[in-house]
Structure 1
Amino acid sequence: MAPVPVADGGEDAVDIKQLKALVTVAEAGSVTRAAELLHLVQPAVTRQIRTLEQELGVVLFERIRQGMRPTEAGAVMVDRARRALNELERARAEVQPTPGVVTGVVTVGLLESATDLLAEPLVSAIAREQPGIELRLMTAYSGYLQQWLDDGDLDVTLMYNLASTPSLNAHRLVGERLWAVAQAADGLRPEQPISFSEAAGHPLVMPTAGHALRSLIDSAAARAGVDMDVVVQTNSMRVQKQLVLAGYGWTILPGVGIAEDVARGSLSAAPLCEPDVRRSIVLGTQRSGRTPPAVEVVAREITRQVRLAVRDGRWPSAEWQANSGAAGDE
């Protein structure tokens, strides 16, 4: 498709309404649905997209059978527009605060393995103590969370086995062991560690190659001098557990990710030994720029919730590693 001609005059400029229309159409997949979400008539949304295309001199969407799909240029604009709108929303909350109340939008990254343990207590605590803060929770494996933090899509996140870098600060919170996980009938017991070589003697359901957790497991296999029989790879911890339940093999996961499953008897698990396989959980924040008060508040609350989970025994085989003066100490 040929480029859309640039409008004459040079007076037009991208405005907030156009950015909102762009992002909403991309997320909704159609102009009709976007118009409903924006409480506008469909021609108004179409006009905003066309005007933006004229100002940029590129086509932003292509029509497909299912609706509208961003072009390559459109995808770049959608990504940038989404970040610009998020920053504007955050700035508006910061410059128009209620006296004595911390306000703002904070996007939090949670490790998939720790989501069930931390998400509800964190949301509850912030809603109770800091109702002016709007939380947005994102869950994923550590590698994705680090990338999102580097890209500015997250304000604060939990990650593991990561030191501070030029672009982010990493504060160590917890050290924990990895566990062999099997069907309940296999009878693994938390108080009886199992050697890595014994666990590797079973067919294994593993994280996908290149993932940080998989790299940690591969390193342990090399130290133990064993070859793993990997029958399935997946990028989802929940799928790992489902496949173990279905009898496809054993898996290896952090204790926090299987605590509830073991407690209700759907799975059995034991910490690994020979070698002892551990990961360190860190709290990551962006290094550049000013840290908004709302982000500082949420970071302290995440730290507090992690420490409470370790102290109360809800985070299996975890050791609190933050300094005594770290945020969240009681």
Structure 2
Amino acid sequence: MELRQLTALLTVAEVGSVTRAAKLLHLVQPAVTRQIRLLEEELGTPLFERTRHGMVPTPAAEVLIMRARRALDELDRARAELRPEPGEVTGIVSVGLLESVLEILAEPLTDAVARRHPGIELRLFSGYSGLLQQWLDTGEIDLSLLYNLSDTPSLWVAPLLREQLWVVGPPDADLHVGSPVPWATALAHPLVLPVSGHGLRALVDRARSVAPVQPRIVAQTNSMLLQKQLVLAGHGWTVLPAAGVAADVAAGRLSGAPLTAPDVERSVVLGVQHRSRLIAPVEAVASTLTRLVGELVRSGAWPAATADARPRAAGG
């Protein structure tokens, strides 16, 4: 099994066509076809189904694609780390970001890493906390923001901040940031909520167990964007961390207010895999991310957030 064969496999799978893959790889089409055929012969199984919609990976190919992508990523990292400029930290670092913090963190993090460590290539992935934790456990990402998590057998966790949850409605709901809303009032409205198993949903369910109201849930989703779209369309209210909705509230697209009685916060943490020593580029990005989050909290750019009182140095 050769690297060029794995590269051909991934490229065909991504574009769905041998012809397009050949153009991207600057090869003739028969050369790409031959690489795929050699892989199939070595493994003893077909890797693609040829359909009118293009080349569709078989279940066997999906397994190989996942492993091949990881192997090629590791080789890219090794090349970057073995060719550093004197005194420069180089490499590829994959970072997981919670969907709710993308607007306030993705661009500043990219800018900060580019300024402080221009030899590092940053790869950003977003999702809800449970999915990011899975990617961290399997090594698909190097570090990630997560919430409401302590150290696990596979992960080391550093607390960063605590943030308040808001109830969110359409503009005519007339919710105001300076006027907290009791959970009982929020739960009396039709609700659009995250799906069960989502970390934010667990916080909502905890508050529901205290408030004496049986809510009417009209929709559940794993997408924060969809939560906000359904609220704007008039299907109900929702619950989100302030960071995920403050810009919409400020622009008048939605209205929102802190939730109270009971007060429910989520803890945002930085998670990395347990290792005896963090490699230099991962440690550099972890330190930059930790510093940046602190700056955003202190300046008020991360709304309704307070620094966690239990900070620890990355990797320790």
Gaps (5+ residues) in structure 1? 1-13
SS of residue in 2 equivalent to 1:172:
strand
Q: Does 1:42 align with 2:29?
A: yes
The corresponding residue for 1:304 is: 291
Deviation, structure 1 residue 28: 1.2
3-state DSSP class of the match of 1:223? coil
Q: Deviations over 1:188-217 (max 9, x none)?
A: 111211111100111111112221111221
- Spell out the pairing of 1:92-103 with structure 2 (5 A cutoff): 92-103=79-90
| Equivalent residue runs for 1:278-297 within 5 Å | 278-288=265-275, 290-297=277-284
1:159 aligns with 2:146: yes
Deviations 1:212-262 (A, max 9, x none): 111221121112232221111111111111111111110000000011111
Within the candidate set 47, 56, 62, 1:60 is matched to 47
**What is residue 179 of structure 1 aligned with on the other side?**
166
Q: By how many angstroms is 1:322 displaced?
A: 4.9
Specify which of 23, 29, 36 is matched with residue 10 of structure 2: 23
Q: CA deviation at 1:267?
A: 1.2
Give the letter for the 1:158 counterpart.
Answer: L
List per-residue Cα deviations over 1:127-183 (Å, max 9, x = no partner): 112111001111111111001111111011101011111111111101111110011
1:303: how far off? 0.9
Aligned match for 2:115, one of 119, 128, 131: 128
How far did 1:61 drift? 1.2
Matched residue, 1:112: 99
Contact 1:220 1:275 in 2 (8 A): yes
For this pair of structures, how many residues does the alignment match? 314
Q: Which residue of 1 aligns with 2:209?
A: 222
**Identity rate, percent:** 58
SS in 2 for 1:113: helix
| 1:262–1:182 Cα change, 3 Å | same
- Residues 197 and 25 of structure 1, relative CA distance in 2, 3 Å threshold: same
For structure 2, list consecutive stretches of 5 or more residues without a partner in the other structure: none
2:222 & 2:138 partners in 1: Cα distance?
21
Change (3 A) 1:240 1:325: closer
Query: CA–CA distance in 2 between the matches of 1:123 and 1:309?
Result: 14
Contact 1:171 1:322 in 2 (8 A): no
Aligned-partner residue type, residue 25 of structure 1: V
Runs of 4+ in 1 over 3 A off after TM superposition: 322-327
The aligned amino acid for 1:89 is D
CA RMSD of aligned residues (A): 1.3
Q: 1:104 to 1:322 in 2, by over 3 A?
A: farther
What amino acid is the match of 1:120?
E
**Which residue of structure 2 aligns with residue 265 of structure 1?**
252
> SS where residue 140 of structure 2 aligns?
coil
1:148 to 128, 135, 156: 135
